[in-house]
């Protein structure tokens, strides 16, 4: 069974996914918890500032506790601060929307977006989740994970978001192999029709992916060559971030050759 802590954090998570503040009954239902249990959790979380209850409406929302922790985390581990300049440059270079994701709590979520300067562009919301099998980021992340984690990810039911979403584990495996070999992933309309994306992982010196740099473009104005160029650029940016972030430790195997020779 899931621990109490796990349940409480899951509650926080669902509360964060809700469109807006929610009432006790709602929250309990959404989390599949008893009303009494949900309330005990909420009270406990509130004591520590992780949730707040509006004194008027009595509805609950995420509190400012996480904000405090986030500031400390960012101060010690300034992933965003390091990565954003590269993302910005990449957005200018590619003239397409570039977004950065981070792996956290078993999910890959968008942590920064630089919009394409063009009028016709892809928009991505900060905070949105990126399914492993249906997005370039997901694929790029998974491709550099240990075998076990790939197996586990592909074991779960894979949602079909568009007519083009690949849900066959076997086919996904070959796509992952290609991604690993190439250093970047390409997904054609996996999550949304009309969008093609490419992504490459930011990795620790040990080679573990911690997030991805992705470029998303309207399918209508791209071709194979352009996508490959984007992929190379994304890989270069991801690699540059990894290096800058972790200092100039050993430049990590497989993907190193992809660094642009500039």
Partner DNA sequence: CGCATATGGTTCAATATGTGAACCACAGCT
Partner DNA sequence: AGCTGTGGTTCACATATTGAACCATATGCG
Binding site for a second copy (CB under 8 A): 3-6, 8-10, 12-13, 16, 20-21, 40-41, 44-45, 47-50, 55-56, 61-77, 79, 102-107, 109, 111, 126-127, 204, 206, 208
Rounded CA separation 135/186 (Å): 8
Phi/psi of residue 258, nearest 5 degrees: -80, -15
Rounded CA separation 121/216 (Å): 8
Residue 95 vs 107, nearer CB to a second copy: 107
State in angstroms the smallest separation of the CB of 145 from a second copy: 12
Of the candidate residues 39, 121, 228, 244, the single one contacting DNA (CB under 7 A): 39
Tokens 């707040």 found at = 52
Contact between 59 and DNA by CB under 7 A: the answer reads yes
Count of residues in the chain: 262
Contact between 13 and DNA by CB under 7 A: the answer reads no
3-class secondary-structure state, position 14: helix
Contact between 208 and DNA by CB under 7 A: the answer reads no
Contact between 61 and DNA by CB under 7 A: the answer reads no
- Select from a second copy, DNA, none the partner in contact with residue 1, using the beta carbon and a kind-dependent cut-off of 5 to 8 Å: DNA
**255 neighbors 236 (Cβ within 8 angstroms):** no
**212 neighbors 238 (Cβ within 8 angstroms):** yes
Contact between 146 and DNA by CB under 7 A: the answer reads no
Of the candidate residues 1, 72, 75, 225, the single one contacting DNA (CB under 7 A): 1
DSSP 63-94: -SHHHHHHHHHHHHS-HHHHHHHHHHHHHHHH
């Amino acid at each position: 069974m899931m621990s109490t802590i796990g349940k409480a954090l899951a509650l926080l998570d669902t509360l964060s996914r809700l469109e807006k503040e929610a009432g006790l009954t709602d929250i309990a239902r959404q989390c599949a918890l008893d009303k009494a249990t949900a309330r005990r959790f909420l009270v406990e979380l509130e004591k520590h500032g992780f949730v707040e209850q509006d004194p008027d409406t009595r509805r609950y929302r995420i509190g400012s506790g996480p904000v405090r922790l986030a500031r400390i985390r960012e101060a010690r581990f300034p992933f965003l601060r390091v990565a954003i300049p590269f993302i910005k440059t990449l957005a200018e270079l590619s003239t397409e929307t570039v977004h950065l994701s981070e792996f956290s709590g078993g999910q890959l979520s968008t942590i920064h977006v630089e919009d394409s300067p063009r009028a016709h562009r892809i928009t991505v919301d900060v905070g949105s989740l990126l399914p492993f099998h249906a997005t370039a980021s997901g694929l790029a992340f998974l491709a550099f994970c240990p075998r076990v984690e790939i197996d586990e990810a592909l074991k779960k039911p894979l949602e079909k978001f568009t007519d083009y979403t690949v849900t066959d584990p076997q086919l996904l495996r070959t796509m992952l192999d290609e991604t690993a070999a190439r250093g970047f992933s390409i997904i054609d309309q996996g999550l949304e029709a009309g969008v093609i994306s490419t992504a490459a992982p930011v990795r620790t010196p040990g080679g573990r992916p911690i997030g991805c740099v992705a470029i998303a473009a309207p399918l209508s104005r791209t071709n194979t060559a352009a996508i490959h160029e984007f992929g190379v650029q994304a890989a270069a940016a991801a690699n540059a971030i990894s290096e800058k972030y972790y200092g100039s430790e050993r430049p990590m195997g497989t993907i190193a050759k992809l660094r642009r020779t500039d």
